[in-house]
Chain A
Amino acid sequence: MHKKMAFSFPDEVLEHVFSFIQSDKDRNAVSMVCKSWYEIERWCRRKVFVGNCYAVSPRMVIRRFPEFRSIELKGKPHFADFNLVPDGWGGYVFPWIAEMAGAYPWLEEIRLKRMVVTDESLELIAKSFKNFKVLVLSSCEGFSTDGLAAIAASCKNLKELDLRDCEVDDLSAHWLSHFPETYTSLVSLNISCLGSDEASFSALERLVHRCTNLKTLRLNRAVPLDKIANILRHAPQLVEFGTGTYTADVRPDVYSDLAGVLSSCKELKSLSGFWDVIPDYLPAIYPVCSKLTSLNLSYATIQSPDLIKLVSHCPNLQRLLVLDYIEDSGLEVLASSCKDLQELRVFPSDPFGAEPNVSLTEQGLVAVSLGCPKLQSVLYFCRRMSNEALVTIARSRPNFTRFRLCIIEPKTADYLTLEPLDVGFGAIVQYCKDLRRLSLSGLLTDRVFEYIGTYAKKLEMLSVAFAGDSDLGLHHVLSGCESLRKLEIRDCPFGDKALLANAAKLETMRSLWMSSCAVSFAACKLLGQKMPRLNVEVIDERGPPDSRPENCPVDKLYIYRSIAGPRFDMPPFVWTMDEDSGLRLS
């Protein structure tokens, strides 16, 4: 064989070639070609992505990739967003920071999602990494403005501080003043999640003034409308801007100030914020609308006519997040005005009301699917749906890659025929051959899972709630969906059989979440014993699972593959099933 071929290229040449390969998937593939490529690749990987922080230990990552500059970690499962994961479950970032602080003084970027970040972790970051540049915390919690003050004070080269959707203990708005007067490198700041308490406007203004490279600024609700003009005046180069509260007494001077300063922002492509918006101030943004590609109105409680006017000014819109106040009529206007639309999210304004409060139905989604040729990602909350509509949507928009439909009332049937929506979702998976993410809702039998198992070959993430009749449903998905990585299920009659019969499949996936299903404790123990490379976690706030009969269903089950073995930071209501006795008490 041509063994010498592998050594005929100097390592440096291969390294140079690899430097053009950025995606993790490609890098992973490269590392599996042969041992020498594995070795070369691991020394030159600069960005590490860990999709489940418990799948591997920090030490293992550091050992394999000695010179990375950027790390992305994800903690809790997705259903934690909907309060299904009890507080204290885990996802602590501190052990990672502690290991990296020792090994990597030159770490530059940390991106975390759904992790618990303490002030201690933030202080350690501030102290340990001299060239620290990027901190993105997405849906994280556990820290306060004290931790942010430490970052502001010490990270001289900080470029990006993004706290999207975090829960921050707002102790003091003055953390912003901890950025030294000499600090000017900020490019992106997102503090939209911070509390409604009094903010330090002058510190914010001065910061914006001296950071001339600032491209992204997302303010929080506390910043009043009349202060925005002052802040924006210093940042005409902004590309992405999130307003604070968008309400004020209607005053001509405030309005013209705002309109004037906004029209001088020639690079603006993305707008968000708009808390408490009053329609009178909306025309102030019209001058920038023609260049907008992204608009987030999910906090804007304005009615359809105002939304329609706004949307008609934005012909280049690619991404729209909006409340269902837009109604079917507004979505029809969107379909005819915004031909570049790629992503649409429509949220419910009154999710808990018994009766619909707005006229938003399946028709709106049909209109957008028919009218927007580039639409590929949708998240849509509505109260009624039909198979006919879903089939129309699937046929007209086969380029969907993400399709998430939430019919608000669980188990709602096709409103025209009163049948399950199996055929409709079946059409979605059949026609949309590149579908990577799907969320189901409405009345669904095992048949829909048969369609999914048969057609959804590129599906990577599936979310299921209140659906199916039997284990057959789960079996179809686990045995048919070749690309499946994440499966999350709640309130479905899936039990032991499908899970145990497809145990090997679970090692090919990142994770499986099942809550309020019918999986017994005995099956969990068996799975844990037979599959040493899976962590089988039983989450049950009722007390130890062995205090109930073995065939009793567990409350919540989280199974994920791991080469780090069972974790040791579990709270009292989480048990890992392992090879020993099947029960480890924390």
Chain B
Amino acid sequence: MGRPTSSSSSIDSPNHFAFSSTASSQRDLTTDLRLGLSISIAPPFVRYLFFPIAYGTDAFTVHNQKIYIFREQWPPMKAAVAEEEHECNSSTFYVKVYMEGIPIGRKLDLLAHESYYDLIRTLEHMFHTNIIWAEAEMDRDHYEKYHVLTYEDKEGDWMMVGDVPWEMFLSAVRRLKISKC
């Protein structure tokens, strides 16, 4: 069922906020298929919303368009309540990622990634740097632009990321660290 776009005259802005262009005049309906996500609030609004990772798989359909809900953002509950840490069917696995020189770590859901390549791409985007891991090629003349990615395993040892198969990595990793070369 279609809904009219916003057009009520009772809230037309007073003169000193005269402002002609609003989001409702944007007619560009292309979605970014490469990144696979699109959100439609109501036609003709189409928002470009891309994250390098799809956190959630929940979706519902409104106006024949799929709206994805990021799992960790809906429903609105704090993560701690009824946390199913030890359940095998848990669909998220958050680890902390620390970058050398920055005291606050960031959280990352490893299960939202399918491979090392996926993970590296996310980290490079999150931390605005080039990451070296087991399969990376580095420009040796510009090593200061690179950071090395290591992980702490269950025994507390720090290992280079990428040496073991992805699934094995997932079962061993406790946290990640990005250090200068």
Contact = CB atoms under 8 A, between A and B. Distances in A.
Contacts of B82: 298-299, 301, 323, 347-349
Nearest to B7: A470
Q: Pick the 7 closest A-B CB pairs, nearest first.
A: A470-B6, A518-B23, A87-B106, A493-B41, A471-B6, A475-B11, A500-B17
Nearest to B102: A88
A172 interface: no
B80 A142 contact: no
A282 to B, nearest CB: 18
Given A83-B70, A347-B81, 12 more contacts: A82-B78, A352-B58, A472-B10, A475-B8, A497-B12, A497-B13, A501-B13, A516-B39, A518-B41, A523-B22, A526-B19, A542-B50
A198 interface: no
Contacts of B72: 82-83
B81 A503 contact: no
A165 B49 contact: no
A288 B76 CA distance: 33
Interface of A: 79, 81-84, 87-88, 116, 118, 120, 139, 141-142, 165, 169, 193, 196, 298-299, 301, 323, 347-349, 351-352, 381, 406, 408-411, 439, 463, 465, 469-472, 475, 491-493, 495-498, 500-501, 503, 516-520, 522-523, 526, 530, 541-542, 548-553, 555, 572
B75 interface: yes
A553 B39 CA distance: 12
B12 A409 contact: no
A551 B21 contact: yes
Nearest to B43: A493
Interface in B13-70: 13-14, 16-17, 19, 21-26, 39, 41-42, 45, 47-51, 58, 60, 62, 67, 69-70
B104 interface: yes
Contact of A406 (B7, B16, B70, B76): B76
A352 B128 contact: no
Contacts of A88: 104, 106
Contacts of B19: 496, 500, 522-523, 526
Contact of B74 (A142, A193, A410): A410
B17 A530 contact: yes
Contact of A516 (B21, B25, B47, B79): B47
B23 A299 contact: no
Contacts of A493: 6, 41-42, 45
